Structure 1
Amino acid sequence: MGKATGFMEYDRQSATYRDPSERLNDWREISVLPPEEKITQQAARCMDCGVPFCQNGSELAGMATGCPVYNLIPEWNELVYQGKWKEAYERLSKTNPFPEFTGRACPAPCEGGCVASLYESSVTIKNIEWAIIDKAFEEGWVTPPKPKKRTGKKAAIIGSGPAGLACASELNKQGHTVTVFERSDRLGGLLTYGIPKMKIEQHVVDRRVNLLKEAGIHFKTNVEVGKEYPVEKLKTEFDAVIVCTGATKARNIELDGRHFKGIHFAMDYLHSNTKSMLDSNFRDENYISAEGKDVIVIGGGDTATDCVSTALRHQCKSLVQFDIYPKRPEDRTQANPWPQFPVIHKLDYGQEEAKSKFGSDPRSYATSTIEFLGDDTGYISGVRSVEVKTIFNEKGEKKREPILGSDKVWPAQLVFLAVGFEGPEQHLLEQMNIRVTERSNVDVQEGSYQTSQDGVFAAGDARRGQSLIVWAIQEGKEAAEACHDYMMNN
């Protein structure tokens, strides 16, 4: 805990967003932490709750609540309150190998389960975590996690996203020789090319990767296993393999007019934008530009918001975001009790920026796309939508019915599809003869990360489907432990 009465004495104060009129002109991080004195006060709000729901990751009603990496949150809150920052970092690093990532990009299910929210508002756990790790880097407390000795065992990890990096870090600590294969030109996976730089600047990713390199982990970029590197070589050169390729197969929208040019998957847009920025600061023009265009983003999640924010920085002409759900309530309903993750209305950073530029929230709620319209040149010119209402049938299944007469045509020269993912790409799994589930995720043995192939493991979104960065990190850690046990017994 922090101060016994801290949650009553101090109001919640989160990291502040830079003014939209300023941040829309650059690609730097959008938020700024409060000064150290305020962070200490926020840590003081951690109450003596008895049962810290914040640190026990679980799923309620299909959503995460509490911390999936089991951070010892009350303990490092107490240490920050006492001014013992180094001890707080040591406590934090016992559970989370990459707090600089989660402190910036995690949606903070820990705060959804914070007991203080029953009194007024949750502790700013995510911001305190971010402050701890940034101070640790500033003070030089973060060092390469080098093993004391090597086991002689070799492991290959396919994919350098959060699951792959966490798995590599843990296996390296155990003394195994680890090689990470990444098909892109830069390391980090989702952290580099999936999350815009406004949320995690690239130097933050590179700083951690360089530490892992110094710790002895080998990285191979521009190498796609199954293409540049034959699958057969994995069996002869490594004692075990861990598949951490993510869930990168984007969900499509099969409607009339889908063939028109100018309709893109969200990740293609975000990836090309980041790569062009990192390669040449956009001078190569090798990206999808929204400049001067009417843009429609289809989807209501974080990826959709990232597209909104990116298009605004491109100086789009107009912007609309279709959200299939009705507008959420301002406060929890009886159907969404604590400690479930709060499903409430919020203005995320992208919507805040759009409101600043165009005067209103860009979201059109309870809106479904029914047709893409095009011009004589084969390019998208508009989107036809319909309002929908959500009902539940006698089996409790969710159904959406169109509202008659609510059709509307929106002008659009650029459309981004951000409606989720359908699991990992299948060609590598087929080459490795790995069994998959009905939802096309990697199938593993019950209670294990072992796939249908001996000595081959899977973790992260490739195993569980599209999920949170914290789940990917935890899965990487747990898969590493299973892989370690396998290698030491074979």
Structure 2
Amino acid sequence: MSDKIRPISFEKLINWIFTELKTKDSIFGIHKDKFYYGIPNNTIPFLGEKLGLPIGPAAGPSSQLAQNIIAAYLTGSRFIELKTVQIIDGEDLPVLKPCINAEDECYNVEWSTELTVEEAFEEYVKAWIILHVLMKELNLSVERDFVFNMSVGYDFDGIKSDKIDSYIENLKNSQNTKIWKESIQVLENNIEKFYRFSIEDLYEIPSRVCNSITLSTLHGCPPQEIERIAIYLLKEKHLHTFVKMNPTLLGEAFVRKILNKMGYEYIKLNSHHFKNDLQYNDGIKMIKKLKAVAEMESMEIGVKLTNTLPVRILNEELPGEEMYMSGRSLYPLAINLASNLSEEFEGKLYISYSGGAEFFNVDKIFETGICPITFATTILKPGGYERIKQIAEKVEPLISNRKSTIDMQLLKKLAKESIDDKHHLKKARVVKIRKLYKDLPIYNCTIAPCSEGCPIEQQIPKYIELVGEGKYDEAFKVIVSDNAAPAITGTLCNHNCQNKCTRLDYDSSLEIRRMKKIAVDNAEELYTKNIKPGAIKNHKKVAIIGAGVAGLSTAMYLRRNGISVEVFEKRDKPYGIINYVIPSFRIDNLALEQDFKMVKSHGVKINFNVAEEVDLNVLRKNFHYVVLATGAWKPASISLKRGNDRILNSIEFLEGFKENSEDIKLGTHVCVIGGGDVAMDVSRAAKRVNGVEKVTIIYRRTKDLMPASREEIKLAIEEGIEFKELLSPVALEDNILVCERMILGEQDKSGRKSPISLGKYESINATTVIAAVGEKIDSELFKSLGIDINSKGLPEVNSKCETNISNVYIAGDAKSGPGTIVEALSHGKIITRDILKKENMPCDFIRAEENTCGYELKKSYERKGVLLESIPSKEEAIRCLKCNNICEICVDVCPNRANVFIDIKEGPIEGHQIIHLDGMCNECGNCGVFCPYKGNPYKDKITIFWSEEDFENSSNSGFCVIDSIKGIFKVRDEKGEIYNWCIEENNSESISKEMKSIIETCVNRYEYII
């Protein structure tokens, strides 16, 4: 694998563009449905040019190659800020790899284009000419409505060097350059192939590519140096000039305060940048002087806001010691700096804006008078360039009312609101990572992460679509095929699926649990009425001890598949903890009754009020299989120096509260120790007890590290529960809970920072203290039954939930301690599969692969890249990206378009397959960040190499052409073996059928990518 980009010739670019458009209805992966068509005369004057839309890619990974710029233009970008060039280039430029991590807020460790300055110039000229061709040929606009802006750095000597000077001059007039002449000649030779683009259009392409420039200097560059360069660019080069300014102008205290308030307290700043970078007052003086120079030269001077923010690398997010932050965490800093500077110049300051600009704020930024607006992070996320169209359509109607100066009051208001903008707060994306931790397959990698993340493998995209269509009965049948407690999980499930949803990298997760509940509310009753117990297909019998979720789900799954089942429960009602402990404000009895009725309707025999003692020997004489699903009811305890006897157990309290809350006396001040969902239940229940005035949750870490679900924490806050963080209880006496103050240290094995004592104490009023620190299983019971127990006090079971005693299984909380409802359901499926396998009986969980039709693919492509707020109805279904049809996230997020899909019509891997193009990849690593698997597409997918040298320098499976006439390829197979393979001889024994199918498809249908 080589990180060297191989520029594509102009002729090949043109061939690629129009061949792909003809064969795939796309250009560089941008489907034609995502092309943006400008409105005639809907332009604004900009630096002597006409600008259709003042939006586009910021100088960065999405504007360094011709194909990047073309993809951005097709989707609506009309202001192209070319990637920065500097005197150090090509092989001499040290760039650590991977260099981009846009998982949430974005970080990078790159400086400027990795091409040589000459190569970069050629890319920009090729893009400039091709955009003129596409404009006419695709009828994207009547006249040129796009503007290129060059960007240079980093010091005066470098900018004045022959290399950079030639670059600047040639972009001012490219007519006499080799690449210009070659490109024009190619078009002349092929002019008859175009329908709308004419020879007259060709000769009207202006050779002046740029009349403006953005100055990007290094952090720490003195103001005198910046000023000297800017004056040089204005006076000597006669270029409209934007000076890029850093967020460090705001001062470290302000930046730290804002980041902390928005939830980014973990970001570590480098103080020396705030001391050594351009200072605010010096910056104001410099801009004033430059404005005077610009006016004398009849040029425009402005500022580019902002540069990225340098921060320390602490958790190996990227290689090195320092990285540069951008994206949604940068937005409040950049927009506040814009507001401050605008006030200094009474709204008469030209601002080119970049810093967390995206769909949800671009219209607000533009309405202040700021123009142009560029972005990087948002198009490095799933959806990629295609989401630019939605941004373009949001800005388009505002063009006619564009302000000539900046509205300072509106900008000030926006800056103030930015700090509380939900789209930029850290908690907007509470899930740290969506990875499935499954190996990335070399073929057939399309996957629905939600279904894979669901412990019971729900067919989520399928039932979401059916709910959206109002087909509730069909949706419920899909749900219940995997889920024996749909009403319960439609209310209480911790929705692992939503933590894997691709929309987390768009806007917010699809409300999958809510969609399930809509189906349940509309269809479960009728479904249950129509259930007819199936025949018993086997003489073997199964005993299940415990009628909780695990026990009843196992019973329903088995009985549904023809196995005789009998359930034994010591209490008088089903669903254990859910029925007896979880408060009714979390779930009502109706949901439990619905699911229980459905289970019984399958013919499951259930015995309540059974003696507590379990005699395994007796059970095994009467039943062929035994499933122990006895739960985890044994309370865990906390150890205080004094007052342990006055600590109330959470389960004991919640059972009493649910039975009769009127009889409970807690006093006025209740303290709850713990940070899980049970602690939230306890605190909210205590708040409802008569006489209680205040409830406080005590937790030894911080709120954001609590294991409780974000929804439950939010509800507790809304109900007035107080959170006391970084406190560890040590003693209780005289209604005072004494707590030790803590500080967070290094991460522990759980991935959370360990609390460390400060040696200081805090006293809190507490008439009652309730411990909600978890429950334990009764390991003594299992020991007495002869079941092996591990060092953690948990029963030893294999991957099928089977114990050391043959045909004896353990499910639910009894297996591994308190867990989630859906985990308990999954144990039921695992055990059912194993028993049916042992009995050589078919299992109705196994589903045939569905073929995806063209209509479904079209629906998926229409939704790609489109951001939508959550919709509180069945219409939420339109937010589903249908990842089971197509994934192609690696295609979306690659700025260089180095990952492509090919469609294989027949063979062992029929359908869409991802191919990696080595020559277009610089190993930025962004595809690996967002791929649902734990692999890296740029390393793990079949790779096409454009030279034998690149093939030899890589270990990727893939191929390159050795002799195109004879059809000879050098192939590295899936195991790393290398072959010379001839397509004509068809010596298929040397390579796999899958690899053969890939090569033949590329040769026959996608020759332009080889």
State the TM-score, normalized to the length of structure 1: 0.75
Residue 322 of structure 1 pairs with residue 698 of structure 2: yes
Alignment of 1:15-54 (within 5 A): 51-54=447-450
Assess, with a 3 A threshold, how the Cα gap between structure 1 residues 211 and 346 changes in structure 2: closer, same or farther: closer
Equivalent residue, structure 2, for 1:404: 759
Q: Of 453, 477, 481, which aligns to 2:833?
A: 481
Tell me, what secondary structure is at the counterpart of 1:348?
helix
Q: Matches of 2:528 and 2:560 in 1, distance apart?
A: 17
Alignment of 1:213-292 (within 5 A): 213-226=600-613, 230-261=615-646, 263-274=647-658, 276-277=659-660, 285=663, 288-290=664-666, 292=667
8 Å contact from structure 2 (residues 627, 811) kept in 1: yes
Q: Matches of 1:391 and 1:80 in 2, distance apart?
A: 47
Assess, with a 3 A threshold, how the Cα gap between structure 1 residues 77 and 393 changes in structure 2: closer, same or farther: closer
8 Å contact from structure 2 (residues 701, 755) kept in 1: no
Q: Matches of 1:270 and 1:412 in 2, distance apart?
A: 18
8 Å contact from structure 1 (residues 239, 487) kept in 2: no
In structure 2, what residue type is equivalent to 1:313? Answer: R
Equivalent residue, structure 2, for 1:100: 487
Alignment of 1:97-246 (within 5 A): 97-137=484-524, 139-140=526-527, 143-144=530-531, 146-226=533-613, 230-246=615-631
For each residue in 1:308-353, what CA deviation from the matched residue of structure 2 results, as whole angstroms up to 9, or x when unmatched?
A: 1111111312211012221329xxxxxxxxxxx9987974323321
For each residue in 1:235-275, what CA deviation from the matched residue of structure 2 results, as whole angstroms up to 9, or x when unmatched?
A: 222111111122333221012224433x211111112222x
Equivalent residue, structure 1, for 2:727: 367
Offset at residue 213 of structure 1 (A): 2.4
Tell me, what secondary structure is at the counterpart of 1:429?
helix
Q: Matches of 1:207 and 1:309 in 2, distance apart?
A: 26
Q: Percent identity?
A: 27
8 Å contact from structure 1 (residues 161, 188) kept in 2: yes
Assess, with a 3 A threshold, how the Cα gap between structure 1 residues 98 and 145 changes in structure 2: closer, same or farther: farther
Equivalent residue, structure 1, for 2:452: 56
By relative contact order (CA 8 Å, sep 6+), the higher-ranking structure is 1
8 Å contact from structure 1 (residues 145, 212) kept in 2: no
8 Å contact from structure 2 (residues 732, 738) kept in 1: yes
Equivalent residue, structure 2, for 1:25: none
Equivalent residue, structure 2, for 1:436: 789
8 Å contact from structure 1 (residues 389, 401) kept in 2: yes
Tell me, what secondary structure is at the counterpart of 1:350?
helix
Assess, with a 3 A threshold, how the Cα gap between structure 1 residues 311 and 300 changes in structure 2: closer, same or farther: same
Q: Matches of 1:345 and 1:481 in 2, distance apart?
A: 34
Assess, with a 3 A threshold, how the Cα gap between structure 1 residues 110 and 142 changes in structure 2: closer, same or farther: farther
8 Å contact from structure 1 (residues 457, 483) kept in 2: no
Offset at residue 145 of structure 1 (A): 6.0
Q: Matches of 2:590 and 2:464 in 1, distance apart?
A: 27
Equivalent residue, structure 2, for 1:60: none
For each residue in 1:387-434, what CA deviation from the matched residue of structure 2 results, as whole angstroms up to 9, or x when unmatched?
A: 2112128999954211233x1121222111111233x11232122111
Q: Matches of 1:147 and 1:418 in 2, distance apart?
A: 43
Q: Which residues of structure 1 form unaligned runs of 5+?
A: 10-48, 58-66, 330-340, 356-360, 375-380
Q: Of 644, 666, 686, which aligns to 1:311?
A: 686
Assess, with a 3 A threshold, how the Cα gap between structure 1 residues 211 and 88 changes in structure 2: closer, same or farther: closer
In structure 1, what residue type is equivalent to 2:814? Answer: A
Offset at residue 225 of structure 1 (A): 4.1
Assess, with a 3 A threshold, how the Cα gap between structure 1 residues 346 and 449 changes in structure 2: closer, same or farther: closer
Assess, with a 3 A threshold, how the Cα gap between structure 1 residues 231 and 94 changes in structure 2: closer, same or farther: closer
8 Å contact from structure 1 (residues 158, 225) kept in 2: no
Tell me, what secondary structure is at the counterpart of 1:388?
strand
For each residue in 1:345-379, what CA deviation from the matched residue of structure 2 results, as whole angstroms up to 9, or x when unmatched?
A: 974323321x2xxxxx41111111111224xxxxx
Q: Matches of 1:346 and 1:248 in 2, distance apart?
A: 22
Q: Matches of 1:350 and 1:185 in 2, distance apart?
A: 31
Q: Matches of 1:169 and 1:258 in 2, distance apart?
A: 46
Tell me, what secondary structure is at the counterpart of 2:632?
coil
Q: Matches of 1:345 and 1:172 in 2, distance apart?
A: 35
Q: Matches of 1:293 and 1:69 in 2, distance apart?
A: 43
Alignment of 1:353-432 (within 5 A): 353=719, 355=720, 361-374=721-734, 381-392=735-746, 399-405=754-760, 407-422=761-776, 424-432=777-785
Q: Which residues of structure 2 form unaligned runs of 5+?
A: 1-32, 35-382, 391-444, 842-1010
For each residue in 1:27-86, what CA deviation from the matched residue of structure 2 results, as whole angstroms up to 9, or x when unmatched?
A: xxxxxxxxxxxxxxxxxxxxxx963211102xxxxxxxxx11111111112222222222
Equivalent residue, structure 2, for 1:72: 459
Tell me, what secondary structure is at the counterpart of 1:453?
coil
8 Å contact from structure 2 (residues 455, 823) kept in 1: yes
Assess, with a 3 A threshold, how the Cα gap between structure 1 residues 394 and 473 changes in structure 2: closer, same or farther: closer
Aligned residues: 400
8 Å contact from structure 1 (residues 305, 348) kept in 2: no
Q: Matches of 1:328 and 1:304 in 2, distance apart?
A: 15
Q: Matches of 2:529 and 2:579 in 1, distance apart?
A: 21
Assess, with a 3 A threshold, how the Cα gap between structure 1 residues 273 and 148 changes in structure 2: closer, same or farther: same
In structure 1, what residue type is equivalent to 2:697? Answer: Q
Offset at residue 208 of structure 1 (A): 2.0
Assess, with a 3 A threshold, how the Cα gap between structure 1 residues 84 and 397 changes in structure 2: closer, same or farther: closer
8 Å contact from structure 2 (residues 727, 740) kept in 1: yes
Assess, with a 3 A threshold, how the Cα gap between structure 1 residues 465 and 181 changes in structure 2: closer, same or farther: same
Q: Matches of 1:185 and 1:441 in 2, distance apart?
A: 27
Q: Matches of 1:318 and 1:212 in 2, distance apart?
A: 42
Assess, with a 3 A threshold, how the Cα gap between structure 1 residues 425 and 143 changes in structure 2: closer, same or farther: farther
Offset at residue 223 of structure 1 (A): 2.0
Q: Matches of 1:224 and 1:483 in 2, distance apart?
A: 26
Q: Of 441, 453, 457, which aligns to 2:805?
A: 453
Tell me, what secondary structure is at the counterpart of 1:56?
helix
For each residue in 1:406-465, what CA deviation from the matched residue of structure 2 results, as whole angstroms up to 9, or x when unmatched?
A: x1121222111111233x1123212211111211121113x3221011221112222233
8 Å contact from structure 1 (residues 327, 345) kept in 2: no
Q: Matches of 1:179 and 1:431 in 2, distance apart?
A: 23
Which of structures 1 and 2 has the bigger CA Rg? Answer: 2
8 Å contact from structure 1 (residues 240, 487) kept in 2: no
Q: Matches of 1:384 and 1:243 in 2, distance apart?
A: 41
Higher helix share: 2
Equivalent residue, structure 1, for 2:201: none
Assess, with a 3 A threshold, how the Cα gap between structure 1 residues 224 and 394 changes in structure 2: closer, same or farther: closer
Offset at residue 293 of structure 1 (A): 3.0
Equivalent residue, structure 1, for 2:270: none
Tell me, what secondary structure is at the counterpart of 2:680?
helix
Tell me, what secondary structure is at the counterpart of 1:260?
helix
For each residue in 1:157-185, what CA deviation from the matched residue of structure 2 results, as whole angstroms up to 9, or x when unmatched?
A: 11111111111111111222222122222
In structure 1, what residue type is equivalent to 2:566? Answer: T
Cα RMSD (Å) of the superposition?
Answer: 3.0
8 Å contact from structure 1 (residues 295, 318) kept in 2: yes
